[in-house]
Amino acid sequence: MEIETDNPNFPFDPARQIQPCSIDLRLSDIFWEPRSGARIDLSDQTPLGPQVTRSFKRSRLKFPRGFVLKPGRFILARTYERFHIPNDLMGRLVGRSSFGRLGISVASQANLINPGWTGHMPLIIKNDGPFDVIIQPYVGLVQLCLLILSNEPARVYGEDGVDSKYMGDDGGPSRYWLDKTIADLRQKSSGSGATPEVQSILQAFSHDLDEPTRKRFLDHVAKYGPVTDVSHLFESFCAHERKRGPTILLVTLLLGVPLAILTGSLPDMWGGGMGWRVALLGLTGATVAGCGWLYWTQIGTTIPAGELHRLAMTAQGRRAR
């Protein structure tokens, strides 16, 4: 079994962490705090990605300040250790009773960890007690239990054709909304002649995109034609996104210059003074800025091309492991 850690000051210690029938796993320093007043509507038929993303704030636990978990509140966290379940095993995470006796419940919602799965297992930490609790990083909160399968499964998690939206999981918020995205991507990529392996790479790439960029990527896949070289597909999409940035400045100038000339001459029409001129110019600036913001968030590039290229390389490397 493979277990990885990224902080040399807190390596995996088999002598201390491997127990008679389980492996102690620690809490990562990364967590997601629910935003106050956020709302997620599961009846909404549109993709839930933006709702889920906006409903949580990603932060880091720092010792000794930690994070104060109030009674009745919860946070999304993850295991510090990143691990891989072999094909002939399945896993389960269980909380430690020592923390349960303090009113802290740690649930992974993972009554079954599939063979072949890799990532940081997500944790839901809730304070069921009457007092505040300070959550600290690198504390051993859960235990991983491994069960031997009688036979190795025909298909494991992450294989082509399996809806493995949590492969390489970082432990973040729910990806329930990706079910629709996966179905749309499979439909459009199959029409382009993509093999199941290529579809899995495209699926892994789409996981990390925001909703506007994801929609443009799905459209790009549908228009691309036969997908024989996935690297070329990614390069063409990154080039397509790179061209969108300069148009933001062009649209802003085409809109802003005529408005500035118009609003600058309006006070002369009715004899308005300097106050009116400043107010109208300020309104023009706000209008142009608002239009630029709308274009950037709804139409323009939302992820820099360089970052898209990195995500594409990560998706191909993830499937190669």
Which range has the top average pLDDT, 76-85, 190-199, 229-238? 76-85
Closest CA to 3 of 95, 88, 82: 82
What's residue 88's pLDDT?
Answer: 93
Give the residue, 134 or 108, on which the prediction is more confident.
Answer: 134
In the chain, how many H helices and how many E strands?
Answer: 10, 13
Most confident of 26-35, 54-63, 263-272: 26-35
Going by pLDDT thresholds of 50, 70 and 90, the confidence category of residue 97 is confident
Q: Among 97-106, 142-151, 185-194, which stretch is predicted with the lowest mean pLDDT?
A: 185-194
Higher pLDDT residue, 248 or 229?
229
For residues 4 and 224, the model is more confident at 4
On the question of pLDDT at 281 being above 70, the answer is no
In 138-207, the DSSP E strands lie at 140-148
> Mean pLDDT over residues 243-262, rounded?
65
pLDDT band at 107; cut points 50, 70, 90? confident
* Strand (E) or helix (H) holding 2: strand 2-4
The Cβ-side half-sphere exposure at 303, using a 13 Å CA radius, reads 23
Mean residue pLDDT of the chain comes to 79
Q: 178 vs 123, which has greater pLDDT?
A: 123
CB of 14 closer than 8 Å to CB of 144: no
Query: Angle between the 305-320 and 196-207 helix axes, to the nearest 10 degrees?
Result: 130
Residue whose token pair is 């008679």: 20
**Beta-sheet strands, E only, within the chain:** 2-4, 23-26, 30-34, 56-60, 67-69, 74-78, 82-84, 89-95, 104-107, 118-119, 122-127, 133-135, 140-148
pTM (predicted TM-score):
0.64
Q: Is the pLDDT of residue 261 over 70?
A: no
What per-residue confidence (pLDDT) applies to 160?
Answer: 61
Structure-token pair, residue 248:
């933001």
**Percent with pLDDT over 90 in the chain:** 31
For each of the domains in the chain, give its residue range(s) and CATH number, in order of start: 2-148 (2.70.40.10), 177-321 (no CATH)
Whether 287 has a pLDDT exceeding 60, the answer reads: yes
Q: What is the pLDDT of residue 253?
A: 64
Residue 38 in tokens: 């956020």
Query: What is the reported pLDDT for 320?
Result: 47
User: What local confidence, expressed as pLDDT, does residue 162 receive?
Assistant: 66
- Better-predicted residue by pLDDT, 168 or 94: 94
* For the chain, percent of residues with pLDDT exceeding 70: 68
Residue 215 has pLDDT above 90, yes or no: no
